């Protein structure tokens, strides 16, 4: 039983340590948002460059197999170019992504606004709700298109808050387990 309790305490300690690391990471995202965005984007670029190198090596090994695998070099070159662009201009990539999402949300909002007018013309009761939601979507999409960097910062901060909350809740759970360890350890007898 002592060995089980000792292992149980190690699990709790390790889990709380993991939660502390998550909390630090979450606070880092929350308070060093711009730096975090740049690091993550550059890391993604490095991952793509590594994938390009692997594709290039794969091409060299498969070259002997015939023309069927010649498309692998094109894949490697495209990945290499994309990876280098992401590493060199991390804000450009995140802005393009935010603008793309903004366009999708804006178009969706415009379609919903059309539905709201159609419901209004047919005297449906739901038209005000659809109209308000569509205006909200149009505003959100427009904000993403006009100022994509601020949207990226906001999203990164929200992720940071969620990670910190997760770490706090998980630590609370492990502390509760520790407090009730005698009852819980009886389950493993």
Interval 123-141: pLDDT, tens: 888 899 999 999 999 999 9
For residue 84, what pLDDT is reported? 92
Q: Is 86 within 8 Å of 45 (Cβ atoms)?
A: yes
Total domains in the fold of the chain? 1
pLDDT in tens, 149-163: 888 788 888 888 998
């709201």: which residue's tokens?
A: 116
- What's the CA gap between 173 and 24, in Å, rounded? 18
Domain enclosing residue 137, as ranges: 2-186
Q: What span, in angstroms and rounded, lies between the C-alpha atoms of 116 and 69?
A: 52
Find the radius of gyration of the CA atoms of the chain. 26
Separation CA 70–CA 54 (nearest Å)? 14
User: What pLDDT sits at residue 93?
Assistant: 77
CA distance 185 to 182: 5
How far apart CA 148 and CA 152 sit, in angstroms, is 6
CA dihedral 6, 9, 11, 15 (to 10 degrees): -160
Residues of the chain predicted below pLDDT 50: none
């Amino acid at each position: 039983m002592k060995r089980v309790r000792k292992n149980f305490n190690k699990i709790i300690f390790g889990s709380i340590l993991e939660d502390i690391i998550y909390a630090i990471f979450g606070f880092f995202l929350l308070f060093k948002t711009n730096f975090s965005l740049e690091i993550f984007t550059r890391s993604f670029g490095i991952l793509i460059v590594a994938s390009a190198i692997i594709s290039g090596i794969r091409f060299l090994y498969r070259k002997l197999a015939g023309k069927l695998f010649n498309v692998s070099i094109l894949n490697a070159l495209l990945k290499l170019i994309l990876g280098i662009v992401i590493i060199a201009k991390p804000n450009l990539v995140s802005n393009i992504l935010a603008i793309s999402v903004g366009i999708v949300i804006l178009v969706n909002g415009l379609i919903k606004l059309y539905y709201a007018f159609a419901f209004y013309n047919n005297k449906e009761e739901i038209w005000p709700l659809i109209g308000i939601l569509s205006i909200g979507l149009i505003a959100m999409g427009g904000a993403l298109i006009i100022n994509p960097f601020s949207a990226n910062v906001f999203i990164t901060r929200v992720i940071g808050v969620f990670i910190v909350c997760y770490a706090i809740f998980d630590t609370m759970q492990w502390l509760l387990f520790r407090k009730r360890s005698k009852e819980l350890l009886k389950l493993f007898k």
